[in-house]
Structure 1
C-alpha cells in the first residue's frame, strides 16, 4: 500500500512538472568519461572496450567531440547528452590543469543532480603532493572504485 501511495505521489508531481525522473533512456550516451591524456591507453584499450562490449555507449572527447567547436562548447554540449559522468583519477589527472578545470565544470552538474551523477574510478593512487583542493573534496565526498592490476582486474 505504501509503495502504491509513493508511486501515485511521484506520478502526480511528475505530471505537474515538479519531478524529472531521468533514466539512461533519456540520453544519447550512458556516460561522459573524463580522464587525463596520459591515461588514454588504459581508457581506450581496456575500460572503453570492456564497457562498450557490454552494450554501454560512452562519450569520450578524442572520438565524439565535434571538430571545429571549442573544447568548452563540446564539453557543455556532450555533458547534456550524457546520463552520468565517469571520472578516471590518477596522479597525471591530479597534475593536469585541464583536468582540474573539467572537475570544476562537472561539479556544477553534481550540484544540480546530486552525487549519484558521478562514478569515480581511482586508476592510480594520487600522491599527496599532487592532491589539489577540488580533487581532495571530490574524493572525500564521493565513493569511488579502485582499479587493481592482476587478480581483481576481471571483477572490476
Structure 2
C-alpha cells in the first residue's frame, strides 16, 4: 500500500528568527499566512497599544511580565494563556516588561481617542514592518515564516 503524504509541515526555530525593535516594542514574526499571523512581542513597561477591535480570534501566552487590557481590570502574568473572541475591543497596557506570544486570526482595527478608525494591522502589514526593521538594522530577512 502506498501512503500519500500531505504537504510538508512548515516550521521555524525561534533562534533562527531575528528580534527587531521599534521603540519600546521588540518583535519576532514566527508565521504569516493569508488568515493568521503569529508574533512574539517584548514590551517595555508603560507601553500601550491604541484601543483596537479584532476581526478574528486571538490566542496569547505570557512568557514573562505583567499586562492587562485597560477595560477589563485583569492582570495577565507569566504562565497565563488567554483567548479573545472575534469582535473583542480593548487597549493593551503593559505594566511590567513583558514577553508575549500572539496567534492572531484576521486583523485588528485601531481607533483614535475620538473612536475614529486610525489604522488596520494584519499579518501582511506586520510582516512588511518586520522586514523594514530587519533591513534598517542590517539583518538578513529570515526564511520560513510565510505559509
Which one has a bigger Cα radius of gyration? Answer: 1
TM bucket (normalised to shorter chain) is: under 0.3
Normalising by the residue count of structure 1, what TM-score does the alignment of the two structures yield? 0.24
Q: Which has the higher strand share?
A: 2
Q: Which has the higher helix share?
A: 1
Q: Which has the higher contact order (CA 8 A, sep 6+)?
A: 2
